[in-house]
Amino acid sequence: TQLLEQSPQFLSIQEGENLTVYCNSSSVFSSLQWYRQEPGEGPVLLVTVVTGGEVKKLKRLTFQFGDARKDSSLHITAAQTGDTGLYLCAGPSGSSNTGKLIFGQGTTLQVKP
Amino acid sequence: SAVISQKPSRDICQRGTSLTIQCQVDSQVTMMFWYRQQPGQSLTLIATANQGSEATYESGFVIDKFPISRPNLTFSTLTVSNLSPEDSSIYLCSAEITGNYGYTFGSGTRLTVV
């Protein structure tokens, strides 16, 4: 059974600090996605990583896909209060093209002013 | 990328009644997905809805409790039937963003059963 384990589950930091969220699995994924969800909204896609070892940057957010495509990380530099939200990693479920995703447990980030 | 309009955004329902949630996509999509989420927690897939065929349900979810319609490539509904307080949750629909390896989500329906 494919599982995605996210850590930490909760993170409360001061504005300006850096942080890293991890998404790990014992299974190989063809791609991994990161979403951010704010209260009252659906998850919004931040990035998809496809190639092992890939690094993608989105302003202050840096996403990395592990060389073996079993893990990914999200690093936020100089966090801002607007970064507050629930961060979810997700990957395609199974080997067939069902379109289904499995999600990590989520990381709730609170950035305090 | 596709935009999904989901309604209602929230509702309070009496136990034993049903609630139907609608999702309208602004472009044609092959598959749509319905999820359940407790506030602050991850998403659990309920079912996959394909146009022209019966929905495919995940383990623990059955058609009698969660009937789904998919009449065309831009629209789907999820009904939560015979409501009990345990059904109180956030329900979300989703569709794949073509060519982007990602998915777009509706804004969710927060259901409270009293």
Could you read off the pLDDT of B19-39 as tens digits, one per residue?
A: 999 999 999 998 999 999 998
Q: How far is CA B14 from CA A24, A89, B90, in A?
A: 41, 35, 16
- CATH code of the domain covering residue B32: 2.60.40.10
What's the number of domains chain B is made of? 1
Interface check B2 vs A, CB under 8 A: no
Question: Residue B49: left if φ>0, alpha if ψ -120 to 50, beta else—which one?
Answer: beta
| Chain A residues within 8 A of B31 when measuring between CB atoms | 99
Residues of chain B with pLDDT under 50: none
Is residue A54 pLDDT above 80, yes or no?
A: yes
Print the domain residue range for B34: 18-100+106-110
Domain chopping of chain A, boundaries: 5-112
Closest CB to A42: pick one of B41, B45, B105: B105
Question: Mean pLDDT for chain A?
Answer: 95
Cβ within 8 Å of B, A 14-33: 31, 33
Q: Which has the closest alpha carbon to B111: B89, B95, B96? A: B89
SS3 label, residue A93? coil
pLDDT digits (tens, 9 = 90+) for B91-102: 999 998 776 678
- What's residue B91's pLDDT? 98
DSSP letter string, A28-74: --S-EEEEEE-TTS--EEEEEE-STT-EEEETTEEEEE-TTSSEEEE
Which residue in chain A has the smallest CA separation from B9?
Answer: A40
- What's residue A95's pLDDT? 62
Assigned domain for B45 exists = yes
Assigned domain for B43 exists = yes
Mean pLDDT of A12-41: 96
Assigned domain for B9 exists = no
Q: How many beta-carbon pairs below 8 A join chains A and B?
A: 58
How is domain A5-112 classified at the architecture level of CATH?
Sandwich (2.60)
Closest CB to B108: pick one of A42, A99, A106: A42
pLDDT digits (tens, 9 = 90+) for A57-105: 999 999 999 999 999 999 999 999 999 999 999 999 876 677 899 999 9
Question: Which pair of structure tokens corresponds to residue B78?
Answer: 């999820």
Q: Which residues contact A35 (CB under 8 A, 6 or more apart)?
A: A43, A44, A45, A46, A87, A88, A89, A90
Q: Which helix (H) or strand (E) holds A25?
A: none
